[in-house]
Structure formats: C-alpha cells, structure tokens
Chains A and B, each alone.
Chain A
C-alpha cells in the first residue's frame, strides 16, 4: 500500500520569508511525486512533479521541491512567500508505470501573514 504524510496541518510564515511544506511518502518501486494547491471553492491545481532526473524540481509560481530518496521526502519550498500563496497544499504519490492510483496526503494549510 502507498501513503503520504504531511505532518503539519498548518504552516504560518511572514510575507517575504522562505516557506517549507513537508511531505514524506511510502510506495513500492519508483515513486512519481506531485504537489497540488487548492484555493477555497476551487478544484486542485497542479504545481510541480518529480518523475525522474534531477532531484530538485521547479514548478509554477516560484515553487520548487526536492526529492530525497533516502529520507523518502518531497518537501515543497519557496524562497520568498507572498500573501497570495495562502492556500491548502496537497502532496501526492503514485507508483511508476501506467494507470496507477494517485494517493494524496491530508493537506497543509499555508497562511502567509502580511
């Protein structure tokens, strides 16, 4: 069985400061890892993914994430937070290969304080 843990329900950060949203995963085989963001009353929007290659992946809106195989982590980061980054963030994992189920974490509410 595969799973995702997002250990922090809530992360608060001041505008302009760096932010980190943590994610660890468990999956058999090679993982495909994703971050999605959800704004109120909206569906999920894709931010970035790791499939293969460089461990540091860059995505939309200045976000990046680092794949760490030994620690089974895929933390989301941004060097300088904006108030508009405030939203609910979900990490997700699936096995490599075709037609695999995507499993989401429970989400982390990010609040950027002006």
Chain B
C-alpha cells in the first residue's frame, strides 16, 4: 500500500511571498490532516478534513493560511503572505474515518520543510 505523498520536500522563500504544499493521502482514507511542526516542538494540528468537509480549523491562522480538499482526495495548503515564523515542517497525515472498527491511527507523510528568509 502506498503511503501518504507530499510535495515539495523542501522549499525556501522570502517573507511576504506565497507558497503551496500538496498532499495525496492513502487511498480510501476519509480523514486528512495538516500539521505544523516547528523545530523542537511536537506537531500542531492546523486543519482536519473529513472527505471534503472541514472538521476542525480552530488553529489555522486564517488571515494567511488556507487549505482545500477538492473531491475528498488530494489537498493543498497555502500560505500567503509568508512570515519568518512560518518556517517549519508541514506534515500531512491521513486516517480511515472514525468509527467502531477504526484503528484511530494516523499515517504521516514525509513532510515539507519550509524556510522563510
């Protein structure tokens, strides 16, 4: 089974520029997550989709971050304009829909390392 795919793996931009990250979850996984992992910290949830609807975006800085999951499969996360403090690894994860037979495990992609200069 193919894992969660993310691209690009690395990105360097200047502050005030825009950037987009792409994620392809494991086939059949209904739930998709975007996390921000700042160096020395644990991942922090930015947004959670179930199919193509948003379940939780309470920690997404909506003035500059946006995300979409068209057709309930692939997802993109965009930052516009970027700030220095956005430098982090952006992780995408997916899981089957929660339910009585769910394993509740999340499967993570390799991440995109963003450096804002």
Q: Which residues of A contact B108 (CB under 8 A)?
A: 36, 43-45
Closest chain B CB from A24 CB (angstroms): 14
Question: Is A43 in contact with B110, judged by CB distance below 8 angstroms?
Answer: yes
Q: Which residues of B contact A34 (CB under 8 A)?
A: 104-105
Question: Is A106 in contact with B56, judged by CB distance below 8 angstroms?
Answer: no
With A32-B104, A49-B105 already in contact, the answer to whether A90 and B45 are too (CB < 8 A) is: no
Q: How many interface contacts (CB-CB < 8 Å) are there between A and B?
A: 59
Answer whether residue B106 sits at the interface, using C-beta atoms and an 8 A cutoff: yes
Contact flags A90-105 to B (C-beta < 8 A → 1, else 0) = 1010100111111111
Q: Which A62-114 residues sit within 8 Å CB-CB of chain B?
A: 90, 92, 94, 97-107
Q: Which residues of B contact A42 (CB under 8 A)?
A: 110
Chain B minimum-CB-distance residue to A91: B42
Answer whether residue B22 sits at the interface, using C-beta atoms and an 8 A cutoff: no
Q: Which residues of B contact A107 (CB under 8 A)?
A: 40-42
CA separation between A107 and B38, bound complex, in Å? Answer: 12
- Interface size class of chain A, counting residues whose CB lies under 8 Å from the partner chain: 20 to 34
Question: Is B45 in contact with A46, judged by CB distance below 8 angstroms?
Answer: no
Contact flags B18-52 to A (C-beta < 8 A → 1, else 0) = 00000000000001010000001111110010100
Question: Is A51 in contact with B104, judged by CB distance below 8 angstroms?
Answer: yes
CA separation between A98 and B97, bound complex, in Å? Answer: 8
Question: Is A105 in contact with B42, judged by CB distance below 8 angstroms?
Answer: yes
Chain A minimum-CB-distance residue to B33: A102
Q: Which residues of B contact A103 (CB under 8 A)?
A: 45
Chain B minimum-CB-distance residue to A47: B105
Answer whether residue A28 sits at the interface, using C-beta atoms and an 8 A cutoff: no
Answer whether residue B98 sits at the interface, using C-beta atoms and an 8 A cutoff: yes
**Sample of 5 A–B contacts (CB below 8 Å):** A44-B91, A44-B93, A101-B48, A105-B42, A107-B40
* Chain B residues proximal to chain A, CB less than 8 Å: 4, 31, 33, 40-45, 48, 50, 55-56, 58, 91, 93, 98-99, 103-111
Further contacts, 10 of them, CB under 8 A, given A41-B110, A99-B98, A104-B42: A43-B91, A43-B111, A44-B93, A51-B104, A98-B99, A99-B31, A99-B55, A102-B106, A104-B43, A106-B41
